[in-house]
Amino acid sequence: MKVDDRLEPNVFVIFGGAGDLTWRKLMPALFDLYRSQSIPAHFSIVVVDRVDLGEEALRKRLHEGVNEFSRGGTVAAKEWNDVAKHIRYLQGDFKSHATYTELNRLCEELETEWGSKAQRIFYMATPPFLFGEIPTFLNYAGLSADRERSRLVVEKPIGYDLASAMALNRTLASSFDETQIFRIDHYLGKETVQNILAFRFANPLFEPIWNRRYVDYVTITVAEEVGVEHRGGYYDGAGALRDMVQNHLLQLLCLVAMEPMVSFDADEIRNKKVDVLHAVRPIAPEAVHEFAVRGQYGKGWNGGKELCGYREEDGVPPDSQTETYAALRLFVDNWRWQDVPFYLRTGKRMTRQASEIGIQFRAVPHRSFPAEATLDWQPSRIVMSIQPDEGIMLRFQAKLPGAKLLLRPVDMRFNYSESFKTPSPEAYETLLWDVVNNDATLFMRADQVEAAWRILMPVLDVWKAIPPSDFPNYASGTWGPDAAQGLLTHPGHRWPLPVELHSGADSRLMPPGDRAESPRP
Protein backbone atom coordinates (compact mmCIF):
# COMPACT_ATOMS: atom_id res chain seq x y z
CA MET A 1 0.00 0.00 0.00
CA LYS A 2 1.37 3.39 -1.03
CA VAL A 3 1.60 6.08 1.59
CA ASP A 4 1.88 9.72 0.57
CA ASP A 5 3.25 12.18 3.14
CA ARG A 6 1.95 15.10 1.14
CA LEU A 7 -1.73 14.17 1.65
CA GLU A 8 -3.42 15.83 4.58
CA PRO A 9 -4.07 13.60 7.58
CA ASN A 10 -7.63 12.35 7.55
CA VAL A 11 -10.22 11.18 10.07
CA PHE A 12 -13.07 9.53 8.20
CA VAL A 13 -16.02 9.23 10.57
CA ILE A 14 -18.92 6.97 9.58
CA PHE A 15 -22.14 7.35 11.53
CA GLY A 16 -24.06 4.09 11.23
CA GLY A 17 -20.80 2.35 10.43
CA ALA A 18 -22.04 -1.02 11.67
CA GLY A 19 -24.86 -0.98 9.10
CA ASP A 20 -25.44 -2.36 5.65
CA LEU A 21 -24.22 0.62 3.57
CA THR A 22 -20.82 0.63 5.28
CA TRP A 23 -20.50 -3.13 5.00
CA ARG A 24 -21.60 -3.37 1.38
CA LYS A 25 -20.36 -0.11 -0.17
CA LEU A 26 -18.31 2.27 1.97
CA MET A 27 -15.69 -0.01 3.47
CA PRO A 28 -15.10 -1.96 0.23
CA ALA A 29 -14.77 1.38 -1.61
CA LEU A 30 -12.40 2.79 1.00
CA PHE A 31 -10.38 -0.38 0.84
CA ASP A 32 -10.17 -0.34 -2.97
CA LEU A 33 -9.23 3.29 -2.81
CA TYR A 34 -6.48 2.65 -0.38
CA ARG A 35 -5.29 -0.19 -2.54
CA SER A 36 -5.24 1.76 -5.80
CA GLN A 37 -4.40 5.30 -4.67
CA SER A 38 -1.91 6.66 -2.28
CA ILE A 39 -3.25 7.07 1.20
CA PRO A 40 -2.32 9.79 3.67
CA ALA A 41 0.47 8.74 5.95
CA HIS A 42 -1.96 9.50 8.78
CA PHE A 43 -5.53 8.36 8.47
CA SER A 44 -8.17 6.80 10.64
CA ILE A 45 -11.64 5.40 10.02
CA VAL A 46 -13.84 6.03 13.03
CA VAL A 47 -17.01 3.98 13.05
CA VAL A 48 -19.75 5.43 15.23
CA ASP A 49 -22.76 3.26 15.99
CA ARG A 50 -25.16 2.32 18.76
CA VAL A 51 -24.77 -1.43 18.53
CA ASP A 52 -22.79 -3.26 21.16
CA LEU A 53 -19.90 -4.47 19.04
CA GLY A 54 -16.27 -4.59 20.08
CA GLU A 55 -13.55 -3.18 17.82
CA GLU A 56 -12.35 -6.64 16.85
CA ALA A 57 -15.85 -7.89 15.98
CA LEU A 58 -16.43 -4.78 13.88
CA ARG A 59 -13.16 -5.22 11.98
CA LYS A 60 -14.04 -8.85 11.33
CA ARG A 61 -17.45 -7.89 9.94
CA LEU A 62 -15.95 -5.18 7.75
CA HIS A 63 -13.33 -7.62 6.50
CA GLU A 64 -16.11 -9.99 5.40
CA GLY A 65 -17.80 -7.13 3.55
CA VAL A 66 -14.56 -6.21 1.81
CA ASN A 67 -14.00 -9.84 0.82
CA GLU A 68 -17.46 -10.01 -0.68
CA PHE A 69 -17.82 -6.61 -2.30
CA SER A 70 -14.39 -5.15 -2.96
CA ARG A 71 -13.43 -4.84 -6.62
CA GLY A 72 -10.29 -6.85 -6.06
CA GLY A 73 -12.14 -9.76 -4.43
CA THR A 74 -10.89 -11.60 -1.37
CA VAL A 75 -8.26 -9.72 0.59
CA ALA A 76 -5.23 -11.39 2.10
CA ALA A 77 -5.01 -11.09 5.89
CA LYS A 78 -1.79 -9.07 5.77
CA GLU A 79 -3.22 -6.50 3.40
CA TRP A 80 -6.43 -6.25 5.40
CA ASN A 81 -4.54 -5.84 8.68
CA ASP A 82 -2.68 -2.87 7.17
CA VAL A 83 -6.00 -1.08 6.86
CA ALA A 84 -7.80 -2.65 9.82
CA LYS A 85 -5.37 -1.18 12.32
CA HIS A 86 -6.64 2.27 11.29
CA ILE A 87 -10.27 1.41 12.16
CA ARG A 88 -11.63 2.57 15.51
CA TYR A 89 -15.03 1.86 16.97
CA LEU A 90 -16.91 4.44 18.97
CA GLN A 91 -20.06 3.03 20.46
CA GLY A 92 -22.56 5.74 21.26
CA ASP A 93 -26.04 7.11 20.84
CA PHE A 94 -26.39 9.45 17.85
CA LYS A 95 -28.57 11.73 19.97
CA SER A 96 -26.31 12.04 22.98
CA HIS A 97 -23.86 14.92 23.46
CA ALA A 98 -21.49 12.47 25.15
CA THR A 99 -20.93 10.68 21.81
CA TYR A 100 -19.79 13.88 20.13
CA THR A 101 -17.64 14.94 23.07
CA GLU A 102 -15.90 11.58 22.83
CA LEU A 103 -15.57 11.93 19.06
CA ASN A 104 -14.01 15.35 19.47
CA ARG A 105 -11.61 13.99 22.04
CA LEU A 106 -10.66 11.14 19.72
CA CYS A 107 -10.03 13.50 16.79
CA GLU A 108 -7.85 15.72 18.97
CA GLU A 109 -5.97 12.72 20.30
CA LEU A 110 -5.23 11.57 16.74
CA GLU A 111 -4.12 15.06 15.73
CA THR A 112 -1.79 15.26 18.70
CA GLU A 113 -0.37 11.85 17.83
CA TRP A 114 0.13 12.94 14.21
CA GLY A 115 1.42 16.37 15.14
CA SER A 116 -0.88 18.03 12.64
CA LYS A 117 -4.45 19.16 12.05
CA ALA A 118 -6.53 16.61 10.14
CA GLN A 119 -9.43 16.71 7.73
CA ARG A 120 -12.56 15.47 9.44
CA ILE A 121 -15.13 13.86 7.20
CA PHE A 122 -18.49 13.01 8.73
CA TYR A 123 -20.42 10.50 6.65
CA MET A 124 -24.05 9.86 7.59
CA ALA A 125 -24.74 6.26 6.67
CA THR A 126 -27.77 6.30 8.95
CA PRO A 127 -31.54 6.25 8.47
CA PRO A 128 -32.68 9.59 7.00
CA PHE A 129 -34.50 10.77 10.14
CA LEU A 130 -31.04 11.38 11.64
CA PHE A 131 -29.80 13.57 8.77
CA GLY A 132 -30.95 16.73 10.53
CA GLU A 133 -29.92 15.71 14.04
CA ILE A 134 -26.34 14.50 13.63
CA PRO A 135 -25.09 17.77 12.04
CA THR A 136 -26.71 19.75 14.85
CA PHE A 137 -24.88 17.68 17.47
CA LEU A 138 -21.64 17.96 15.50
CA ASN A 139 -22.03 21.71 15.38
CA TYR A 140 -22.76 21.92 19.07
CA ALA A 141 -19.57 19.96 19.79
CA GLY A 142 -17.58 22.39 17.62
CA LEU A 143 -16.87 19.69 15.03
CA SER A 144 -18.19 21.66 12.07
CA ALA A 145 -16.27 24.83 12.83
CA ASP A 146 -13.25 24.32 10.57
CA ARG A 147 -14.72 25.19 7.16
CA GLU A 148 -11.62 24.08 5.30
CA ARG A 149 -11.20 20.71 6.93
CA SER A 150 -14.61 19.55 8.19
CA ARG A 151 -17.00 18.03 5.67
CA LEU A 152 -20.42 16.44 5.94
CA VAL A 153 -21.56 13.69 3.58
CA VAL A 154 -25.31 13.18 3.22
CA GLU A 155 -26.82 10.13 1.57
CA LYS A 156 -30.10 10.19 -0.30
CA PRO A 157 -33.02 10.57 0.21
CA ILE A 158 -32.68 14.31 0.73
CA GLY A 159 -36.23 14.85 1.95
CA TYR A 160 -39.46 13.15 1.08
CA ASP A 161 -40.85 16.05 -0.91
CA LEU A 162 -40.01 19.68 -1.62
CA ALA A 163 -41.03 20.98 1.80
CA SER A 164 -39.06 18.37 3.75
CA ALA A 165 -36.02 18.76 1.49
CA MET A 166 -36.06 22.52 2.05
CA ALA A 167 -36.42 22.00 5.79
CA LEU A 168 -33.49 19.55 5.81
CA ASN A 169 -31.33 21.90 3.75
CA ARG A 170 -32.08 24.70 6.20
CA THR A 171 -31.12 22.49 9.14
CA LEU A 172 -27.89 21.44 7.45
CA ALA A 173 -27.12 25.07 6.67
CA SER A 174 -27.48 26.03 10.29
CA SER A 175 -24.57 23.72 11.21
CA PHE A 176 -22.38 23.50 8.10
CA ASP A 177 -21.60 25.89 5.29
CA GLU A 178 -22.89 24.75 1.87
CA THR A 179 -19.26 24.35 0.74
CA GLN A 180 -18.79 21.72 3.47
CA ILE A 181 -21.85 19.65 2.49
CA PHE A 182 -21.48 16.77 0.02
CA ARG A 183 -24.85 15.28 -1.00
CA ILE A 184 -24.27 11.92 -2.63
CA ASP A 185 -25.99 10.66 -5.73
CA HIS A 186 -24.02 7.52 -6.45
CA TYR A 187 -25.03 7.64 -10.14
CA LEU A 188 -22.75 10.64 -10.59
CA GLY A 189 -19.79 8.55 -9.53
CA LYS A 190 -20.29 6.06 -12.35
CA GLU A 191 -17.55 6.26 -14.93
CA THR A 192 -19.89 6.36 -17.92
CA VAL A 193 -22.01 9.09 -16.38
CA GLN A 194 -18.93 11.27 -16.08
CA ASN A 195 -18.04 10.36 -19.62
CA ILE A 196 -21.15 12.19 -20.86
CA LEU A 197 -19.34 15.48 -20.29
CA ALA A 198 -16.19 14.24 -22.01
CA PHE A 199 -18.17 12.97 -24.99
CA ARG A 200 -20.16 16.17 -25.38
CA PHE A 201 -17.55 18.79 -24.60
CA ALA A 202 -14.20 17.27 -25.47
CA ASN A 203 -15.20 16.52 -29.08
CA PRO A 204 -16.12 19.18 -31.60
CA LEU A 205 -18.24 16.68 -33.57
CA PHE A 206 -21.33 16.37 -31.44
CA GLU A 207 -22.03 19.71 -29.80
CA PRO A 208 -23.12 21.45 -33.05
CA ILE A 209 -25.89 18.89 -33.57
CA TRP A 210 -26.86 18.56 -29.90
CA ASN A 211 -30.02 20.64 -30.13
CA ARG A 212 -33.63 20.86 -31.31
CA ARG A 213 -32.64 21.32 -34.93
CA TYR A 214 -31.16 17.82 -35.19
CA VAL A 215 -32.39 15.90 -32.17
CA ASP A 216 -35.87 14.45 -32.46
CA TYR A 217 -36.18 13.08 -28.93
CA VAL A 218 -34.16 11.79 -26.03
CA THR A 219 -34.82 8.68 -23.95
CA ILE A 220 -33.36 8.05 -20.52
CA THR A 221 -33.89 4.51 -19.27
CA VAL A 222 -32.79 3.09 -15.95
CA ALA A 223 -34.18 -0.43 -15.91
CA GLU A 224 -33.45 -2.85 -13.11
CA GLU A 225 -33.92 -6.58 -13.36
CA VAL A 226 -34.08 -7.00 -9.60
CA GLY A 227 -37.16 -6.34 -7.48
CA VAL A 228 -37.12 -4.54 -4.14
CA GLU A 229 -35.18 -7.42 -2.57
CA HIS A 230 -34.81 -6.94 1.19
CA ARG A 231 -35.73 -3.22 1.11
CA GLY A 232 -39.52 -3.52 0.93
CA GLY A 233 -40.02 -1.61 4.17
CA TYR A 234 -38.10 1.44 2.97
CA TYR A 235 -39.17 1.25 -0.64
CA ASP A 236 -42.88 1.09 0.02
CA GLY A 237 -42.71 4.52 1.62
CA ALA A 238 -40.78 5.92 -1.34
CA GLY A 239 -41.66 4.49 -4.76
CA ALA A 240 -39.83 4.79 -8.07
CA LEU A 241 -40.34 8.53 -8.53
CA ARG A 242 -38.70 9.42 -5.22
CA ASP A 243 -36.19 6.57 -5.19
CA MET A 244 -34.83 6.95 -8.72
CA VAL A 245 -36.26 9.82 -10.76
CA GLN A 246 -35.81 12.66 -8.27
CA ASN A 247 -32.10 11.97 -8.15
CA HIS A 248 -30.49 9.57 -10.65
CA LEU A 249 -32.66 10.18 -13.72
CA LEU A 250 -32.86 13.94 -13.32
CA GLN A 251 -29.09 14.06 -12.86
CA LEU A 252 -28.70 12.23 -16.16
CA LEU A 253 -31.11 14.67 -17.79
CA CYS A 254 -28.96 17.57 -16.53
CA LEU A 255 -25.78 16.13 -18.00
CA VAL A 256 -27.38 15.47 -21.37
CA ALA A 257 -29.15 18.80 -21.66
CA MET A 258 -26.80 21.28 -19.95
CA GLU A 259 -24.96 24.06 -21.74
CA PRO A 260 -21.16 23.77 -22.09
CA MET A 261 -19.36 24.76 -18.92
CA VAL A 262 -16.77 27.51 -19.01
CA SER A 263 -14.40 25.65 -16.71
CA PHE A 264 -14.28 22.46 -14.69
CA ASP A 265 -15.01 24.36 -11.52
CA ALA A 266 -17.52 22.51 -9.30
CA ASP A 267 -19.94 25.40 -9.03
CA GLU A 268 -19.70 26.29 -12.70
CA ILE A 269 -20.81 22.75 -13.62
CA ARG A 270 -23.47 22.68 -10.96
CA ASN A 271 -24.81 26.03 -12.11
CA LYS A 272 -25.16 24.71 -15.64
CA LYS A 273 -26.96 21.63 -14.36
CA VAL A 274 -29.38 23.52 -12.19
CA ASP A 275 -30.21 25.76 -15.17
CA VAL A 276 -31.61 22.65 -16.89
CA LEU A 277 -33.84 21.81 -13.94
CA HIS A 278 -35.11 25.38 -13.82
CA ALA A 279 -35.95 25.17 -17.52
CA VAL A 280 -38.03 21.99 -17.23
CA ARG A 281 -41.60 22.86 -18.17
CA PRO A 282 -43.83 22.53 -15.08
CA ILE A 283 -46.44 19.79 -15.31
CA ALA A 284 -49.91 21.16 -14.57
CA PRO A 285 -51.78 19.02 -12.02
CA GLU A 286 -54.69 18.49 -14.42
CA ALA A 287 -52.28 17.24 -17.12
CA VAL A 288 -50.29 14.79 -14.98
CA HIS A 289 -51.94 11.79 -16.66
CA GLU A 290 -50.62 13.01 -20.04
CA PHE A 291 -47.04 13.41 -18.84
CA ALA A 292 -46.52 10.67 -16.26
CA VAL A 293 -47.24 6.95 -16.04
CA ARG A 294 -46.83 4.70 -13.01
CA GLY A 295 -46.72 0.96 -12.65
CA GLN A 296 -46.27 -1.81 -10.15
CA TYR A 297 -44.90 -5.24 -10.94
CA GLY A 298 -46.99 -8.34 -10.54
CA LYS A 299 -45.97 -11.98 -10.77
CA GLY A 300 -44.05 -13.04 -13.82
CA TRP A 301 -41.20 -15.02 -15.28
CA ASN A 302 -37.64 -14.12 -16.16
CA GLY A 303 -34.79 -16.37 -17.19
CA GLY A 304 -36.96 -19.44 -16.56
CA LYS A 305 -37.62 -18.37 -12.98
CA GLU A 306 -41.04 -17.60 -11.57
CA LEU A 307 -41.09 -14.28 -9.73
CA CYS A 308 -43.48 -12.97 -7.11
CA GLY A 309 -45.38 -9.71 -7.42
CA TYR A 310 -44.39 -6.56 -5.51
CA ARG A 311 -47.28 -7.00 -3.08
CA GLU A 312 -45.91 -10.41 -2.07
CA GLU A 313 -42.46 -9.02 -1.20
CA ASP A 314 -41.27 -8.90 2.43
CA GLY A 315 -42.23 -5.70 4.18
CA VAL A 316 -44.75 -4.68 1.49
CA PRO A 317 -48.47 -4.44 2.38
CA PRO A 318 -50.66 -6.76 0.24
CA ASP A 319 -52.67 -3.76 -1.01
CA SER A 320 -49.69 -1.45 -1.60
CA GLN A 321 -50.27 1.42 -4.03
CA THR A 322 -46.56 2.22 -4.36
CA GLU A 323 -45.18 2.50 -7.87
CA THR A 324 -42.20 0.37 -8.84
CA TYR A 325 -42.14 1.92 -12.32
CA ALA A 326 -42.36 5.56 -13.36
CA ALA A 327 -42.15 7.20 -16.76
CA LEU A 328 -42.31 10.89 -17.63
CA ARG A 329 -42.38 13.06 -20.70
CA LEU A 330 -40.53 16.29 -19.96
CA PHE A 331 -39.66 19.36 -21.99
CA VAL A 332 -36.75 21.68 -21.38
CA ASP A 333 -37.93 25.14 -22.29
CA ASN A 334 -34.88 26.94 -23.64
CA TRP A 335 -33.34 27.82 -27.01
CA ARG A 336 -31.51 24.55 -27.33
CA TRP A 337 -34.29 22.12 -26.46
CA GLN A 338 -37.65 23.78 -27.02
CA ASP A 339 -40.26 21.12 -27.92
CA VAL A 340 -37.84 18.18 -27.91
CA PRO A 341 -39.43 15.48 -25.72
CA PHE A 342 -37.24 13.88 -23.05
CA TYR A 343 -38.74 10.52 -22.12
CA LEU A 344 -37.58 9.20 -18.77
CA ARG A 345 -38.43 5.76 -17.39
CA THR A 346 -37.28 3.56 -14.59
CA GLY A 347 -38.61 0.36 -13.15
CA LYS A 348 -37.82 -2.68 -11.10
CA ARG A 349 -38.25 -6.26 -12.30
CA MET A 350 -37.86 -5.33 -15.93
CA THR A 351 -36.64 -7.68 -18.63
CA ARG A 352 -33.02 -6.93 -17.95
CA GLN A 353 -30.78 -4.39 -16.31
CA ALA A 354 -30.02 -1.48 -18.62
CA SER A 355 -29.24 2.16 -17.92
CA GLU A 356 -28.79 4.22 -21.03
CA ILE A 357 -29.44 7.51 -22.72
CA GLY A 358 -30.62 7.52 -26.33
CA ILE A 359 -30.27 10.58 -28.53
CA GLN A 360 -32.53 10.01 -31.51
CA PHE A 361 -31.69 12.27 -34.45
CA ARG A 362 -34.15 13.51 -37.02
CA ALA A 363 -34.15 12.18 -40.55
CA VAL A 364 -32.30 13.95 -43.35
CA PRO A 365 -34.30 16.88 -44.79
CA HIS A 366 -34.57 15.33 -48.21
CA ARG A 367 -34.21 11.71 -49.23
CA SER A 368 -32.48 11.55 -52.56
CA PHE A 369 -32.29 7.76 -52.46
CA PRO A 370 -34.90 5.66 -54.26
CA ALA A 371 -37.73 4.51 -52.01
CA GLU A 372 -36.71 0.83 -52.20
CA ALA A 373 -33.19 1.72 -51.01
CA THR A 374 -34.50 3.09 -47.75
CA LEU A 375 -36.95 0.42 -46.63
CA ASP A 376 -34.76 -0.40 -43.65
CA TRP A 377 -34.06 3.24 -42.88
CA GLN A 378 -33.48 4.30 -39.30
CA PRO A 379 -32.51 7.82 -38.35
CA SER A 380 -29.11 8.23 -36.75
CA ARG A 381 -28.87 7.54 -33.08
CA ILE A 382 -26.37 7.85 -30.28
CA VAL A 383 -26.71 5.66 -27.23
CA MET A 384 -24.69 6.27 -24.10
CA SER A 385 -24.83 3.07 -22.14
CA ILE A 386 -24.16 3.37 -18.42
CA GLN A 387 -24.65 -0.21 -17.28
CA PRO A 388 -24.26 -3.13 -17.47
CA ASP A 389 -22.35 -2.47 -20.71
CA GLU A 390 -20.38 0.73 -20.43
CA GLY A 391 -19.82 2.62 -23.61
CA ILE A 392 -21.28 4.50 -26.54
CA MET A 393 -22.95 3.44 -29.76
CA LEU A 394 -23.40 5.51 -32.87
CA ARG A 395 -25.92 4.26 -35.43
CA PHE A 396 -25.86 5.54 -38.99
CA GLN A 397 -26.89 4.46 -42.50
CA ALA A 398 -24.58 2.47 -44.74
CA LYS A 399 -24.91 0.92 -48.15
CA LEU A 400 -25.35 -2.83 -48.18
CA PRO A 401 -22.65 -4.50 -50.27
CA GLY A 402 -23.98 -5.52 -53.69
CA ALA A 403 -25.12 -4.21 -57.04
CA LYS A 404 -28.41 -2.84 -55.71
CA LEU A 405 -28.54 0.41 -53.81
CA LEU A 406 -29.89 -0.64 -50.44
CA LEU A 407 -29.30 1.17 -47.19
CA ARG A 408 -29.39 -0.22 -43.74
CA PRO A 409 -28.36 0.99 -40.28
CA VAL A 410 -25.03 -0.08 -38.83
CA ASP A 411 -23.59 0.52 -35.39
CA MET A 412 -20.19 1.75 -34.29
CA ARG A 413 -19.51 0.74 -30.75
CA PHE A 414 -17.11 2.01 -28.15
CA ASN A 415 -16.90 -0.33 -25.20
CA TYR A 416 -15.08 0.95 -22.14
CA SER A 417 -13.62 -2.33 -21.02
CA GLU A 418 -12.53 -3.38 -24.53
CA SER A 419 -10.94 0.01 -25.29
CA PHE A 420 -9.21 0.72 -22.01
CA LYS A 421 -8.61 -2.80 -20.72
CA THR A 422 -8.69 -1.49 -17.21
CA PRO A 423 -11.51 -1.92 -14.72
CA SER A 424 -13.50 1.17 -13.80
CA PRO A 425 -13.59 2.24 -10.18
CA GLU A 426 -16.84 1.74 -8.30
CA ALA A 427 -19.01 4.85 -8.01
CA TYR A 428 -18.42 5.09 -4.25
CA GLU A 429 -14.67 4.92 -4.74
CA THR A 430 -14.77 7.94 -7.04
CA LEU A 431 -17.09 9.87 -4.76
CA LEU A 432 -15.20 9.16 -1.54
CA TRP A 433 -11.94 10.16 -3.19
CA ASP A 434 -13.58 13.42 -4.27
CA VAL A 435 -14.81 14.13 -0.74
CA VAL A 436 -11.31 13.59 0.60
CA ASN A 437 -9.97 15.92 -2.10
CA ASN A 438 -12.67 18.51 -1.47
CA ASP A 439 -14.01 18.34 -5.02
CA ALA A 440 -17.79 18.89 -5.01
CA THR A 441 -18.34 18.62 -8.77
CA LEU A 442 -20.15 15.29 -8.56
CA PHE A 443 -22.29 16.21 -5.57
CA MET A 444 -25.71 17.81 -5.43
CA ARG A 445 -26.08 21.33 -4.17
CA ALA A 446 -29.10 22.35 -2.08
CA ASP A 447 -30.70 24.37 -4.89
CA GLN A 448 -30.36 21.45 -7.30
CA VAL A 449 -32.08 19.03 -4.96
CA GLU A 450 -34.92 21.47 -4.44
CA ALA A 451 -35.29 22.19 -8.16
CA ALA A 452 -35.58 18.45 -8.79
CA TRP A 453 -38.31 18.08 -6.18
CA ARG A 454 -40.14 21.08 -7.64
CA ILE A 455 -40.42 19.30 -11.01
CA LEU A 456 -41.92 16.19 -9.45
CA MET A 457 -44.27 17.67 -6.88
CA PRO A 458 -47.34 17.92 -9.14
CA VAL A 459 -46.95 14.26 -10.09
CA LEU A 460 -46.41 13.14 -6.50
CA ASP A 461 -49.41 15.15 -5.32
CA VAL A 462 -51.75 13.89 -8.02
CA TRP A 463 -50.61 10.29 -7.64
CA LYS A 464 -51.21 10.52 -3.91
CA ALA A 465 -54.64 12.07 -4.35
CA ILE A 466 -55.78 9.59 -7.01
CA PRO A 467 -54.73 6.06 -6.12
CA PRO A 468 -54.00 3.74 -9.05
CA SER A 469 -56.88 1.50 -10.03
CA ASP A 470 -54.95 -1.06 -12.07
CA PHE A 471 -51.99 -2.15 -9.87
CA PRO A 472 -50.20 -4.48 -10.47
CA ASN A 473 -50.15 -3.44 -14.11
CA TYR A 474 -47.02 -5.07 -15.50
CA ALA A 475 -45.67 -8.55 -15.17
CA SER A 476 -42.23 -9.14 -13.70
CA GLY A 477 -39.73 -9.66 -16.48
CA THR A 478 -41.34 -7.23 -18.95
CA TRP A 479 -40.52 -3.66 -20.01
CA GLY A 480 -43.24 -2.07 -17.87
CA PRO A 481 -46.90 -1.12 -18.21
CA ASP A 482 -48.47 -0.74 -21.65
CA ALA A 483 -49.66 2.71 -20.62
CA ALA A 484 -46.07 3.98 -20.91
CA GLN A 485 -46.42 3.75 -24.70
CA GLY A 486 -49.09 6.43 -24.40
CA LEU A 487 -46.48 9.00 -23.35
CA LEU A 488 -44.85 8.80 -26.78
CA THR A 489 -47.52 10.70 -28.62
CA HIS A 490 -45.24 12.02 -31.39
CA PRO A 491 -45.27 9.97 -34.61
CA GLY A 492 -42.39 7.53 -34.77
CA HIS A 493 -41.24 7.89 -31.17
CA ARG A 494 -40.46 4.61 -29.41
CA TRP A 495 -39.03 3.32 -26.16
CA PRO A 496 -35.92 1.69 -27.56
CA LEU A 497 -34.68 -1.74 -26.70
CA PRO A 498 -31.40 -1.43 -24.81
CA VAL A 499 -28.25 -1.75 -26.89
CA GLU A 500 -25.55 -4.32 -26.47
CA LEU A 501 -22.04 -3.06 -26.87
CA HIS A 502 -20.03 -6.22 -27.17
CA SER A 503 -18.69 -6.97 -30.62
CA GLY A 504 -21.09 -8.85 -32.85
CA ALA A 505 -24.28 -7.48 -31.25
CA ASP A 506 -27.26 -6.91 -33.55
CA SER A 507 -27.84 -3.44 -35.00
CA ARG A 508 -31.51 -3.85 -35.75
CA LEU A 509 -32.79 -2.79 -32.41
CA MET A 510 -35.51 -0.40 -33.51
CA PRO A 511 -38.55 -1.69 -35.34
CA PRO A 512 -38.01 -1.32 -39.11
CA GLY A 513 -39.72 1.63 -40.72
CA ASP A 514 -39.16 3.76 -37.63
CA ARG A 515 -38.88 7.19 -39.11
CA ALA A 516 -38.35 10.56 -37.56
CA GLU A 517 -39.76 13.77 -38.93
CA SER A 518 -37.70 16.18 -40.98
CA PRO A 519 -35.39 18.66 -39.27
CA ARG A 520 -36.95 21.69 -37.76
CA PRO A 521 -36.24 24.90 -39.63
Site of interaction with ligand BG6 (CB under 6 A): 224, 243
Q: What is the DSSP string of 30-91?
A: HHHHHHHS-EESSEEEEEEESS---HHHHHHHHHHHHHHHSTT-S--HHHHHHHHTTEEEEE
3-state secondary structure 431-449: HHHHHHCCCCCCCECHHHH
Active site residue 248: yes
Tell me how crowded residue 313 is: count the other CB atoms within 10 A of its CB: 22
CB of 154 to ligand BG6, least distance (A): 14
The nearer residue to ligand BG6, 243 or 356, going by C-beta atoms, is 243
Q: Which long-range contacts (CB under 8 A, 24 or more apart) does 415-424 make?
A: 415/389, 415/390, 415/391, 415/501, 415/502, 415/503, 416/191, 416/192, 416/195, 416/390, 416/391, 417/390, 418/391, 418/502, 418/503, 419/391, 423/71, 424/190, 424/191, 424/192, 424/390
CB of 415 to ligand BG6, least distance (A): 19
The nearer residue to ligand BG6, 224 or 450, going by C-beta atoms, is 224
The nearer residue to ligand BG6, 308 or 488, going by C-beta atoms, is 308
CB of 100 to ligand BG6, least distance (A): 29
DSSP designation for 415: E
CB of 371 to ligand BG6, least distance (A): 43
The nearer residue to ligand BG6, 225 or 312, going by C-beta atoms, is 225
3-class DSSP assignment, residue 198: helix
Residue nearest to ligand BG6 (CB): 243
Q: In sequence order, what E strands does 224-324 have?
A: 292-295, 297-302, 305-307
CB of 128 to ligand BG6, least distance (A): 12
The nearer residue to ligand BG6, 224 or 323, going by C-beta atoms, is 224
CB of 29 to ligand BG6, least distance (A): 13
Q: Quote the radius of gyration of the chain (alpha carbons, Å).
A: 25
SS3 content of the chain, % helix, strand, coil (to 5): 40, 20, 40
Q: What does each C-alpha distance from 323 to 198, 262, 499 come to in angstroms?
A: 34, 39, 26
- Select which of 63, 186, 248, 493 is catalytic: 248
C-alpha to C-alpha distance for 328 and 336, rounded to whole angstroms? 20
Q: Cβ distance 107 to 120 under 8 Å? A: yes
> Mind telling me the catalytic residues?
248
